[in-house]
Amino acid sequence: MNNIPSSYLDKIRAVYNNISFDHLDFIQDGMVNDVVVVNHELVCRFVKEDWGKEILSHEAKVLEVVQRYIDLPVPRFEHLETDFVTYRYLKGEPLSRNTLLKLSETVQARVISQLATYHQQLHSIPTQVLATAGVSSSGAARSREDWLQLYAEVQETLFPYLWRHQQTWIHEMFAPVVSGELDLSYTPVLIHGDLPVYHILFDPELQNISGIIDFGVSGLGDPACDIATQLGNYGENIVWRMASDYPMLRHLIDRARFWVGTLELQWALMGVKYNDVSLLLAHIGCAREVQPVGTVLGG
């Protein structure tokens, strides 16, 4: 069935004795999990490698908390083992920039407000609640030392492949971090850590966001990480429209501007290191409308 390993199907049958496989989708492009979607109703995720078990365990802790504080639907684990989890399918399509821009002004405003409110709710979950639940640092968390190390690796590994104007752009982007002009300090909050458009589900019939998925990288970190991803998803003009429902935007926008600029470099670096063309191409289609650090804009 769609080249799905028989061990996966046997596992699903063992948990759901009377299940029928009328329609199966097999998704293998995740770095941590293989996914089998059964009848557009049940999501079954299988950890690919042993190191993914720790990620799954941590994601379960995060979702137990998130479900209590977030209005938007998120996965609710129905059956959980160390290397296998199931939850009900959340219907929707990726909320791409083109999809968002094609909506009417009224619907755009509503969807952007939903996105902003989600971030506000997520980043406002009390730290004591997170500590009690055993939520640790996000895999996306970065320190100033991490950024300086990235800068050094980019110069060593990527510069031989880049034209001079591209190298200049990278030097200019990292300059505020090297000089210390950009304040990278923050109070850790719960972040999603990995929210590209395909993790934001949009219901075209109801014309709203129908769910947020894949909390595998979630944990304590810099809220600018999540806003950086939205800059990459939708561009700065749209992100500034989140400000009324996400008031901390003004205080972290410069960190987010810097962060989003590093994303394609991080993927390109991995692509060169591991000789993987798919990683090199990961940021095709992302928004490019981001202002330099220090630009004063917004409503």
Domains 18-88 and 93-280 share a fold: no
CATH node for 93-280? 3.90.1200.10
| Nearest Cα to Cα of residue 200 among 80, 114, 295 | 114
**Secondary element (H or E) of residue 168:** helix 164-179
Return the domain boundaries, the chain.
18-88, 93-280
Banded model confidence at residue 79, pLDDT cuts 50, 70, 90: very high
Give mean pLDDT, residues 257-275.
Answer: 94
Banded model confidence at residue 296, pLDDT cuts 50, 70, 90: confident
Banded model confidence at residue 292, pLDDT cuts 50, 70, 90: confident
Q: In the CATH hierarchy, which top-level class contains the domain 18-88? A: alpha beta
How far is the C-alpha of 170 from the C-alpha of 261, rounded, in Å?
9
- Helix crossing, 164-179 with 249-273: angle to 10°? 130
Using one digit for the tens of pLDDT, what is the confidence trace for 160-198?
A: 999 999 999 999 999 999 999 999 999 999 999 999 999
DSSP at 50: T
How far is the C-alpha of 3 from the C-alpha of 264, rounded, in Å?
32
* Amino acid, res. 146: D
